[in-house]
Amino acid sequence: MSFSSDVKKELFAYDYKNGHCLIAALAAVINTNGFTGTYNGRRLIMIHNENSAVLDMTKSFIKRLFGADVSCQKGNITIDDEALVDKILDATGVVCDTDFSIDSPINLSVVSRNCCKRAYIRTAFICCGSVSDPNKHYHIEFVDNDYDHARSLKELIGSFGITMKIVERKNHFVIYCKEAELIVDLLNVMSAHRALLELENLRVLKGVRNNVNRLVNCETANLGKIVSASLRQIEAINYISKSKGLDYLPDNLKKMAEMRIMYADASLKELGEKMVPPVGKSGVNHRLKKICDIADKLKGDNNYG
């Protein structure tokens, strides 16, 4: 099961305690998956979704709100009882169009309470939303047939401080977000708390993994610098030893040269700590640099000669 399916499964289990949130949820179903119109002089509401769980949820909303049973056939709910249609449209604020379309924004009276806003967004996600596997990338979206409704859904989500964008894709309007923190906030708005915790845990693991990688890369780079510098220093010391002997060096530099040969992979700090008496990192660096300068001068003199 995908992460998106897990989120929806959690949202399906949400238990509405009051009628006004149920009305907001039913309005979301009709606005995202429904059509209204007139056929043979009778007003109808048709709801289509290939997910039977969405249709079962819709039937439950209607039963709880109006005490009516509606039937479902081949992924469709058709409500042709005019009295029930009138009740549903009046309650949800959905406008009945004669051409079986939904071309209207969200009725603000239906989402006047914060809990109703959450119910609307939650149900809209169940009906037309999806969220990507956070192991791969961060992306959440709602796919809408109508621009006016898409814009009002974007604004409704924005009332919780969550910025979404709209793009047209294949004659649909997609409200989407790619920011992990905002997706977490949106999951919280929808009360998908288990999914929220899972996403947050993955974000923490990704952060730790990225930090470890950065540290490893940094350590590797530092180690490379140490090895490279050590090789240059040992080459210089060996050149002096072969051409002049280490006694050619002043006593403090001779001791440093011997220490570098003995501890080829030690850092400047470690070399300094092994000296008697100990020498600071800058002092070690200064002495080794002088040794390299002496070797360079000897090489130059020999080349010139």
Looking at residue 99, what is its pLDDT?
56
Q: Where are the domains positioned within the chain?
A: 3-191, 206-304
Give the chain's residues under pLDDT 50: 305
In degrees and rounded to multiples of 5, residue 224 shows phi and psi of -60, -40
> Is there a contact between 271 and 299 (Cβ–Cβ < 8 Å)?
no
CATH architecture of 3-191: Roll (3.10)
Looking at residue 29, what is its pLDDT?
94
Sheet arrangement for strand 76-79: 34-39, 42-48, 76-79, 72-73
Looking at residue 241, what is its pLDDT?
87
Looking at residue 224, what is its pLDDT?
73
In degrees, to the nearest 5, what angle opens at C-alpha 117 toward C-alphas 112 and 118?
A: 150
Looking at residue 225, what is its pLDDT?
77
Encode pLDDT of 143-190 as tens digits: 998 899 999 999 999 999 999 999 999 889 999 999 989 999 999 999
Looking at residue 212, what is its pLDDT?
65
Looking at residue 127, what is its pLDDT?
95
Question: What pTM was computed for the model?
Answer: 0.69
Distances (CA, A) of 261 to 105, 224, 254: 79, 18, 11
